[in-house]
Amino acid sequence: MLQNTEDTIAAIATPPGRAGIGVVRISGPQALAAADLVFKASIGIPPSQFPSHAIHFGRFADNGVVIDECLVSVMKAPHSYTGQDTVEFSLHGSPVILRQALACCIKAGARQAGPGEFTFRAFYNGKLDLARAEAVCDLISSTTDAAAKASVMVLEGALSVKITAWRDRLLSVLMLLETAIDHAGDDFEPISQLELSKACKELRNSLGELLNSYSRGRHLRNGIRVVICGRPNTGKSSLMNALLQRDRAIVSDIPGTTRDIIEETLEISGLPVVIVDTAGLRGSCSDPVETIGQGRARKALEIADTVLWLIDGSTPADGDDKAIGELLQAAGLLSKTSILINKADLPAALEEGQLPPAARILHISCLNGLGLDAVERALGAIAEELASAPDLIFVNERHCDALRRADASLAETEAALSVKATEDILAFHVREALDCLGEITGDTADEEILDRIFSNFCIGK
């Protein structure tokens, strides 16, 4: 449950572990009073008398016993991240020192903050809307430049501006419909059916453009899933190790060494790429554990964004290769499959004409690295195509759900218009769309939604 916003909270705002600097943050009505009790400035005046947005040097002490020398930053309400009086202590980054400092702040009248509670207060006090608050969490958890850039766009209000403009237009429509309801029987029509139909179409087109960004945003946050498949002993684990540039998967001449899914993430062209090594696929298998591994390999292929099908070029294609090709074709994966003909350092025995049509064919050698740069370039191009779009605002799963429901309500409005429904029915559907869009910015988000969002934040943010 969301906490009281009128008490004073404190938390360590930097990640666990040792560092040059660690930050303890206090926010709330008694933040300055608490700071006066624990900090003695070298200039001889208490933090409550500092001008806002000033930094001073001094000593952090527990009942006069110095814990550390540090810098203190004072940000007075309403000009702070939370909108409340906020004090931040920049101490040496020892976990022991930070825990002692936090305990002193709690003893001075603060309480331990919950996950995301500082950002919730920023939302509650009107410093951020809900979409921008979520972008803070996305920015903290971003793993690549592209993901960070997308999060900053939302943090700066690009999504909120769009949603607010759409809500303003729907509010104008709703006001006119409700005026018509109030004047029922007076032959009064403040908005024509044609105007309302035009508004619905334009808004649905705009919603559709934003919805199209969901899959790209998902790729930015979660990574492009690249599944390596092939029959046993074609070099799948060697390929994974080569792409990661470290020994992550066990490599052996014994068929069926890989029994389970192995996943690792790397960055290619500034985008997260999840490399998935799978068990070798073959027609018959007597080992029950290997059979389970092959089942998981097939499931991994079902959710792959792109496939690297590894084939041993030093031997002719066999029944297992044919079965894999049929599997990829049946699953509609050939168009996003790159066939990698491995062991190019050995005499070729594979007839390429027997291979099914795939997106590309590359010759490589996992042993000496031949062609691996071409594989990385291909993956980079695929990643950019899947996740990159200039000036496109990426939405998350929650936003996507709200946008889909808003679009469905507008579709219901159009359907009601087609049968000449009354203004009260039209107003009902418009109001539904308004509420759905309001969930994104927080205007109509209930406590359950807020709890779910802010519980995903780290403590101290």
User: What CA–CA distance (Å, rounded) separates 124 from 5?
Assistant: 8
Phi, psi of 298, deg, nearest 5 = -65, -40
Q: What CA–CA distance (Å, rounded) separates 438 from 131? A: 10
CA 352 vs CA 179, 266, 309, 314, 393: distances in Å = 71, 31, 14, 12, 42
Q: Which of 174, 242, 231 is nearest to 423 (CA)?
A: 174
Q: 208 near 201, Cβ under 8 Å?
A: no
What three-state secondary structure class fits 44?
A: coil
Contact 214, 400 (CB under 8 A): yes
Q: Which residues contact 37 (CB under 8 A, 6 or more apart)?
A: 104, 108, 109
The top-level CATH class assigned to 135-213+394-442 is mainly alpha
What's the whole-model pTM score?
0.75
**H or E stretch covering 11:** strand 9-12
Residues shown for the chain? 461
Phi (first) and psi of residue 254, to 5 degrees: -80, 125
**Could you please report the per-residue DSSP string of 327-370?**
HHHHTT-GGGEEEEEE-TTS-----GGGSPP-SEEEE--TTT-T
Domains in the chain: boundaries: 9-128, 135-213+394-442, 219-387
> What pLDDT, on the 0 to 100 scale, is given for residue 159?
92
CA 448, 110, 458: angle at the middle one, nearest 5?
Answer: 45
The pLDDT assigned to 126 comes to 93
Q: What is the dihedral of CA 361, 365, 371, 377, to 10 degrees?
A: 80
Write out the CATH class of domain 9-128: alpha beta
| Contact call for residues 405 and 209 (beta carbons, < 8 A) | no
**C-alpha atoms less than 13 angstroms from C-alpha of 112 in its C-beta half-sphere:** 7
Predicted local confidence at residue 448, as pLDDT: 86
Residues 6+ apart with CB under 8 A from 346: 313, 314
Listed in sequence order, the DSSP H helices in 191-266 are 193-211, 214-222, 236-244
CB-based contacts of 194-202 (< 8 A; 24+ apart in sequence): 196/413, 196/417, 196/426, 197/414, 197/417, 199/169, 199/170, 199/173, 200/410, 200/413, 200/414, 200/417, 201/414
CA–CA gap between residue 292 and residue 299 (Å, rounded): 11
Q: SS3 for 9?
A: strand
**CA pair distance 286, 458, nearest whole angstrom:** 47
Among residues 13, 221, 222, 7, the alpha carbon closest in space to that of 116 is found at 13
Tell me what pLDDT residue 161 has. Answer: 94
Q: Which CATH number is 219-387's, of 1.10.287.1080, 3.30.365.10, 3.40.50.300, 3.90.1150.10?
A: 3.40.50.300
Q: With 0-12 CB in 10 A as exposed, 13-18 as middle and 19+ as buried, what is 114?
A: middle
Cα distance between residue 247 and residue 28, in whole Å? 50
Run of H or E including 73:
strand 65-75
Most distant CA pair in the chain: distance in Å? 89
Strand boundaries in 234-350, DSSP class E: 262-268, 271-277, 306-312, 337-342
C-alpha–C-alpha distance, residues 365 and 332, integer Å: 27
Residues whose CB is less than 8 angstroms from the CB of residue 160 and which lie 6 or more positions away in sequence, other chains included: 129, 131, 132, 154, 441
**Helices in 22-144 by DSSP H: which ranges?**
31-38, 95-107, 117-124, 130-141
In the block, tokens 């059979």 appear at 291
- What averages of pLDDT result for each successive group of 10 residues across the chain (461 residues)? 82 91 96 96 94 95 94 96 96 95 96 93 93 89 78 90 94 86 64 83 92 80 85 85 69 48 80 84 61 75 88 88 87 89 89 84 89 88 72 80 96 92 90 95 88 83 80
Query: How many CB atoms lie under 10 A from the CB of residue 281?
Result: 22
